Amino acid sequence: MQVSDLNNVKIYNLSAGKSLPEWLSERKRRTLLKKDVDIRRRIELIQDFDMPGLSTSIRVSKDGQYILATGIYKPRVKCFDVNNLSLKFERCFDSECVTFEILSDDYSKIVFLQCDRYVEFHVAHGRYYRLRIPKFGRDMKYHYPSCDLYIVGSASDIYRLNLERGQFLTPYSSESSAINRCEINPVHHLLICGTQEGRIEAWDTRSKSLVGNFDCALNFVNDLNQLQSFPSITALKFNGALQLGVGTATGHVLLYDIRSNKPFYIKDHMNELPIKDVEFHKQEEFVYSMDGSTVKIWDKNNGKLYTSIEAKSEFNNLCIVPNTGLLFIANENTKMQTFYIPSLGPAPKWASFLDNLTEELEESNTETVYDDYKFVTKTELENLGLDHLIGTNLLRAYMHGYFIDVRLYKKARDVANPFEFDQYRKQKIRQVIENDREARVKVDKLPKVNKDLALKLINDKITNKKKNNSSSLLTDNRFKALFDNPEFEIDKNAEEYRFLNPVLSRLDKNKKKELKQKLVGEEFETVQEEDKDQKSSDDDFESDDSSDDDDGAWKEEMKKQHKILEREKRIREKREEIDKLNEEQKAPKFFELRAGEEFKGAHNMKRKLNKASLAERLQNEDSSVKMHSFGNRQMTFSVSSKAREAAINEKNKRHREERKKLVRPTFGIKSSKKKHF
């Protein structure tokens, strides 16, 4: 709950407070309710009093027991039972609801006007009937004595649908091109229509004829040239039998006595937004007027502002609970806003506990949604060293980042940069000292930040090149931070800076030194205020003869920088790949042995290596395989040298000689054969 005090009038916003993300589990919700004091003190007047996208209109039944609201998306209607303070039922439509009327005292008979020209009738069990009107409707009202439903819209006709007969009757023909709003007086049943042309038409439902017509736009004849839009009628409301409140598209509220064609008071909202709703307080002489940004409550006699409610999201519709200080607002947000103003009336019977709570509540600030969670991107997670938490319950993926508990985020931030506060403090002290020095007599030389850029600009000014750009950049206060704030320091090692044409590519080192020497002892402003027609001498600077030479040098510099960057990129990729392979080789492999098993790691690894393919073997033998930048592989083998071959041959020769000495010759042995006869 949030309390505001405007003009010493306390307004309690019952919809404000800490809200929990929808993706939290019920267990975590209950845990937060127990631990978090702010959530425990939150007042949820009606459970599920919200819409998926936004709410368009809210009504309270005549018996005061039911609250009905429409919204999107998908188009739907919700009915809330105030006795149970909870949702009774919810139904969806085929198209968005423009407005609706409650025909019975409770929720049992409702009619909806939809944006696709359909009119739907609903009863307690669901949709009863639907029909279509000839033109797009903008508003409708139900006349109880005759059971006629009046529908107005983008045509000049006022359609009459008799619900007792179940048929259309002859429509009323208006003189306008379109009708925005209609209203029926509850006392004498006069039908009032507000037109696109800023006119009010009064129709008698008994004689079926036009009985009155006056132009509201005539009150703004002198101001039509200053107004951004035409004062069309956008809101109508009766107060009793004679008073009529009229809202216009220019942000004015006109109060009429219907016996006169001139308003007795005109209230300007001063923001030129269309007035969407006008309501009257029954007990006090106050008027509620609402536009898209605010609800103003003011005295109808003198227009003095009593209090106002500012919008955090655009307002769509205003609903006042009769004879109470409670009001509902449909807005462009999921939550339907609920406000309680004790000075305008007591709380309704079904919310009588509000009167007791308002005495104990103190003013507090509105807290943001999901203030227990911090949204971080993947880059921030890597900088904090929390990227290993991706996929765990500590991070919740959302869009292009993650939700993280703010306590964990603060701890990780303190660990990642423990001296952040000290650095921030020193920077602030240095900034204060620099600001104090500005009041002294200063001699501006080269700036502390981006000195080379300043030299380049001074060089261009002296050589009469780019006179307008250089002079404006150095003297314009909008670019002052470029030479003062260290955050704008140019990173010369960045690839983008090196790939593009460097800032000092046309200022060589010799000229740079000469220019620095020239600026020593001189004021920086005197160099800027030199004559625009002054030309540099041939001894200091050598100007190019033609623009073709400059273009050729620029192209050569671009090619050179491109080749250097490509070479560095290849070397960096190669180093990263070698480091990765070395880490994989050094990483030990662990095997888990179960009870009763023997370790056969070497045998299994040998079998696995024998069955491995050639590609896997080459991958394991990294010493003999080398990668080249052009994408192929090269396998190298060690080849024996000549000295080594000679030694091997000599060894083999000695071995053969030794073998010959050991072998006995066979030439001295003769074979003898005995002859037997």
Q: Please indicate, yes or no, whether residues 386 and 308 belong to a single structural domain of this protein.
A: no
User: Over 60: is that where the pLDDT of 578 sits?
Assistant: yes
The answer to whether residues 381 and 322 belong to one domain is: no
Model confidence at 119, pLDDT cuts 50, 70, 90, reads very high
User: Is residue 571 predicted with pLDDT exceeding 60?
Assistant: yes
Q: Report CA Rg, the chain.
A: 44
Name the band, by pLDDT with cuts 50, 70 and 90, for residue 366: very low
Interatomic CA distance for residues 87 and 107, integer angstroms: 13
Q: Select from 367, 399, 429 the last residue of a domain.
A: 367
Asked whether residue 419 carries a pLDDT value surpassing 60, the answer given is yes
Count Cα neighbours of 29 within 13 Å in the Cβ-side half-sphere: 8
One domain for residues 355 and 404: no
Is residue 321, in this structure, part of any structural domain at all? yes
Together in a domain, 468 and 531: yes
pLDDT at 401: 83
Domain that includes residue 19, residue range: 1-44+276-367
Give yes or no: residues 355 and 378 share one domain: no
Q: What is the pLDDT of residue 658?
A: 83
pLDDT band at 369 (very low <50, low <70, confident <90, very high): very low
Residue 454 domain flag: yes
The pLDDT tens digits for 529-548 are 444 444 444 444 444 444 55
Q: Is residue 579 one of the residues assigned to a domain?
A: no
Do residues 535 and 527 touch, judged by C-beta distance below 8 A? no
Q: Give which of 50, 54, 57 is closest to 22, Cα–Cα.
A: 50
Instruction: Identify whether residues 448 and 475 lie together within a single domain.
Output: yes
Q: Who has greater pLDDT, 619 or 673?
A: 619
By the 8 A CB rule, do 425 and 419 touch?
no
Q: Which of 418, 448, 483 is the last residue of a domain?
A: 418
The position carrying tokens 């019920």 is 26
Kindly report the pTM of this predicted structure.
0.53
Residue where a domain stops, chosen among 302, 332, 367: 367
Q: Is 654 part of a structural domain of the chain?
A: no
Q: Is the pLDDT of residue 561 over 90?
A: no
Task: Return the beta strands (E) in 14-143 as ranges.
Answer: 54-60, 66-72, 76-81, 86-92, 97-102, 110-114, 118-123, 126-132, 137-143
Domain count, the chain: 3
Residue 643 has pLDDT above 80, yes or no: no
Mean pLDDT of 652-671: 72
Does residue 471 belong to any structural domain of this protein? yes
**pLDDT (average), residues 195-214:** 89
Q: Give the number of other CB atoms < 10 A from CB of residue 131.
A: 12
Cβ-based neighbour number of residue 136 at 10 Å? 15
Q: CA-CA distance, 307 to 288, in Å (whole number)?
A: 10
Question: Is pLDDT larger for residue 473 or for residue 307?
Answer: 307
* Mean pLDDT computed over every residue of the chain: 76
Using CA of residue 305, residue 311, residue 317, residue 320, what is the dihedral sign?
negative
Indicate whether 358 and 396 sit together in one domain. Answer: no
Average pLDDT estimate for 628-642:
55
Which whole number is the average pLDDT over 165-187? 90
Q: Is residue 378 part of a domain?
A: yes
For residue 370, what pLDDT is reported? 47
CA angle 54, 33, 393 (to 5 degrees): 80
pLDDT for 529 equals 46
Average pLDDT of the residues in 147-160: 91
**Average pLDDT estimate for 202-214:** 89
**Where is average pLDDT lowest: 213-217, 246-250, 655-659, 661-665?**
661-665
Least trusted range by pLDDT, from 98-102, 338-342, 405-409, 414-418: 414-418
**70 touches 76 (CB < 8 A):** yes
Question: In terms of C-beta density within 10 A (0-12 exposed, 13-18 middle, 19 or more buried), how is residue 154 classed?
Answer: middle
Note whether 356 and 313 are same-domain residues. Answer: yes
- Same domain for 332 and 297, yes or no, is yes
573-577 mean pLDDT? 81
Q: DSSP readout, 437-496?
A: HTTS-----S-SS-HHHHHHHHHHHHTTSSHHHHHHHHH-GGGTHHHH-GGG---TTSHH
Per-residue confidence band for 70, with pLDDT thresholds at 50, 70 and 90:
very high
Q: Is the pLDDT of residue 666 over 70?
A: no
* Percent of the chain's residues with pLDDT above 70: 68
What is d(CA 199, CA 354) in angstroms, rounded to the nearest whole number? Answer: 43
Instruction: Please indicate, yes or no, whether residues 444 and 531 belong to a single structural domain of this protein.
Output: yes
Specify which of 47-61, 578-592, 604-618, 663-677 reaches the highest per-range mean pLDDT: 47-61
In a domain, 511, yes or no: yes
Query: What is residue 94's three-state secondary structure?
Result: coil
Query: What was the pLDDT predicted at 68?
Result: 94
